[in-house]
Amino acid sequence: MKGADKLFALAFALVILLSFSARADYSGFYAYANNSMLKISACTQYTNIIYVKNLQAQPLTFRVTSSGTASGFASLSQENFMLLPGQSKEIYVFISPSCKTSGQYSLKIRFETLYEEKILSQEVQVFPYYNLVLNSKNLSSSFCANDSISFSFNLTNPGSFLEYYKVSALNISGRGVLSFKQAALLPGETKNISLSYSNLKPGNYKSYLSVESDATQLISKIPFGFKVSSCLPPKKPLMQAIKDFLLANLKIVKIVIFVLLALLVLLIIILLLKKNWRRIADWCSRKKHEVHTIIERRKALMEMRKKPYYKSISEKRKLLKMAKAKPQPSRYYRRVVAKRKKFPCWLKWLIIILAIIAVFAVAAILLFVVFPKAGQEVTSFFSQAGKSIASSASKCYKKTVAFFLRFRPAPAVKNETNASKNVTVPRNATVAKNTTISKNATVPKTNQSLNKSAPSNLTGSSESALEKAKSFIVLYKNYIILGFAVGLVLTLFFIFIFSDRKK
């Protein structure tokens, strides 16, 4: 009995193993499928066909059920049916995993009759359904602080049905702006997503854009980084900055300088008048007295002429002397005269002239330092002007010497041949036709030919110098006017400094 029990147990185990194969073959019926491994995609419907055939000589009634991890998204076309002897039938298993489903699952289809049961096992591998494609359009890595920082992305729905998407991004300092946060895309539709930031401080930033699909629960995320720089222009040297400012605001600078110079001149004039008011008053009184004496003299002469008899000559001379009498100079006038004797006037004017020369030299040096190109052009202009003046002077000297040589007496005649050359021929005299002049005969050059060429070169050089001077004046007239104005103001200032002061 024990041996029979062992054999029965082995037979039962063999029956169970054979029931798990892709094809179950028994004496009563068999059931099989074409594939033992099913590979399908989520969000799609797959139809699995199972073939069943009755091998007995009598009809069989079948009951079909499904089990396993894939039975949750699998359904049978028929669960109960009957097959006549030798009849076969196709059973459809509809496998439709949800969009969130992915991975590997097992599916078991159980066939039961009154006499036996069989199980058909299959493996189902579900791949995710990708209905979300997110691409970056342009991701610039550097921006300026004042630029509009914007990034562009493309969202595409490659699926086969309408899908809803949620869009999110990293909000940097509360300044991130999305073109939209929710969108519905038809199959094959594409939309542009723009992400922009504003008023960001200089620095390095990191951000991302994330899109999540509603049905499939897929998430696509694109991280990116960018840099914000100040983009300020490089600092210029002080002299170059001052030069650019003056050139950019030349009209305003001219007006300001003109007003300041006018105020300075007015102030100097007022100070000079205030300082020398007593001297001016004395001069005016003296002139007034001279005019008064002249008028009195004329009146006296007119009265004398009206008298029938003139007085003696002595009385007339006394009247004339009285009319010519000058008033006594004041103490201030005598002090000024004494000071002038101590400090000569020529020395004062010499110091003023030297100061003016020094001012113009300093102005020229500053012009060369601030505007080196102008300084080079000035030096080249003066060098060319000096050369042209020297050449013109030498040509004038030669011309003068040649002009005075014309009035010198002719040299003495040494022989008759030289004397015969100066013989004049009368108008009525006939000249032999056969007379010829030898090729070696020399014709004396007159001074007129020499004098004709000199003025042309002289005028050409003078005209070129004048044109250069004119172009230089037109090009740098502003600096010339400014230099002369500064020199004038400083001259007045030095006159005020070195003028006689009241003690």
**DSSP letter string over 47-82?**
EEEEEEEE-SSS-EEEEEEEESGGGGGEEES-SEEE
- Given a contact cutoff of 8 angstroms between Cβ atoms, the answer to whether 62 and 81 are in contact is yes
The mean pLDDT of 88-99, rounded to a whole number, is 90
Does the structure show a pLDDT above 50 at 30?
yes
Question: Does the fold of domain 133-229 match that of domain 18-127?
Answer: yes
Is it the case that residue 351 has pLDDT exceeding 90?
Answer: no
Residue 378: its pLDDT value, please? 61
Confidence band for 94, pLDDT divided at 50, 70 and 90: very high
Residue 51 has a pLDDT of 92
Q: In degrees rounded to 5, what are phi and psi of residue 301?
A: -65, -40
Neighbours of 41 (CB within 10 A): 16
When pLDDT is averaged across residues 451-463 and rounded to a whole number, the result is 47
- A 10 A CB-CB count for 129 gives 25
Helices (H) and strands (E) in the chain, counts: 11, 19
Whether 196 contacts 183, CB under 8 Å: no
How is 338-365 classified by DSSP, letter by letter?
HHHHHS-HHHHHHHHHHHHHHHHHHHHH
Chain segment 309-350, per-residue pLDDT in tens: 555 655 666 666 665 555 566 666 667 666 666 666 667 777
pLDDT of residue 19: 45
Report pLDDT for 45. Answer: 86
Mean pLDDT for the chain? 74
- pLDDT of res. 175: 73
Does the pLDDT at position 113 exceed 80? yes
In contact, 29 and 58? CB cutoff 8 Å: no
pLDDT at 499: 56
For range 234-262, the mean pLDDT = 79
Answer positive or negative: Cα dihedral of 275, 278, 279, 284. positive
Most confident of 132-141, 188-197, 339-348, 417-426: 188-197
pLDDT score of 423: 41
Q: Residue 96: is its pLDDT beyond 60? A: yes
Per-residue pLDDT tens digits for 161-170: 888 999 988 8
- Mean of pLDDT values over 257-274: 80
What are the residue boundaries of the structural domains of the chain, listed by start? 18-127, 133-229, 240-277+332-393+457-503, 288-327
Per DSSP, the residues of 405-472 read HTTSPPPPP-SHHHHHTT----TT----TT----TT---PPPHHHHHHHHHHHHHHHHHHHHHHHHHH
pLDDT, tens digit, 9 for 90 and up, residues 44-81: 888 999 999 998 888 989 999 999 999 889 999 888 99
CATH match of 18-127 with 2.60.40.10: yes
pLDDT in tens, 392-415: 878 887 887 777 676 665 555 444
Q: Which fold has domain 133-229?
A: Immunoglobulin-like (2.60.40)
pLDDT of residue 224: 85
Token couple for 327? 């008033």
End-to-end CA distance of the chain: 159
Contacts of 106 (CB under 8 A, 6+ apart): 68, 69, 70, 121, 122, 123, 124
pLDDT of residue 32: 86
Given 3-state DSSP classes, what are the helix, strand and coil percentages for the chain, each rounded to the nearest 5?
45, 25, 30
> At 478, which helix (H) or strand (E)?
helix 477-498
pLDDT band at 270 (very low <50, low <70, confident <90, very high): confident
